[in-house]
Amino acid sequence: MSGWSHFGHDADMGVRADGGTQEEVFEQMALGMTALITDPAGVAALEDVEITCEAPSTELLLVDWLNALVYEMAVRRMLFGRFAVKLDGTRLQGVASGERVDVHRHQPVVEVKGATYTALKFHRRDDGRWEAQCILDV
Quick one: 29 or 115, whose CB is closer to other proteins?
115
Rounded distance between C-alpha atoms, residue 115 and residue 124, angstroms: 21
Rounded distance between C-alpha atoms, residue 112 and residue 91, angstroms: 24
- 124-129 own/partner pairs: CB under 8 Å, 24+ apart: 125/18, 129/18, 129/19, 129/20
CB of 94 to other proteins, least distance (A): 17
Beta strands in 26-107 (DSSP E): 47-54, 78-88, 91-100
Q: Site for other proteins (CB under 8 A): how many residues?
A: 37
Q: Tell me the three state secondary structure of residue 2.
A: coil
**Binder of other proteins out of 37, 43, 51, 96 (CB under 8 A):** 37
Judged by CB under 8 A, the chain residues 38 through 57 that form the site for other proteins are: 56
Could you tell me which stretch among 23-31, 43-51, 65-73, 85-93 binds other proteins (CB under 8 A)?
A: 65-73
How is the beta sheet containing 91-100 ordered, strand by strand?
Answer: 47-54, 91-100, 78-88
What amino acid is encoded at 68 in this protein? A
Judged by CB under 8 A, the chain residues 74 through 113 that form the site for other proteins are: 74-75, 77, 100-101, 103, 107-111, 113
CB of 30 to other proteins, least distance (A): 16
Q: Which residues bind other proteins (CB under 8 A)?
A: 6-13, 37, 56, 60, 63-64, 67, 70-71, 74-75, 77, 100-101, 103, 107-111, 113-118, 120, 135, 137-138
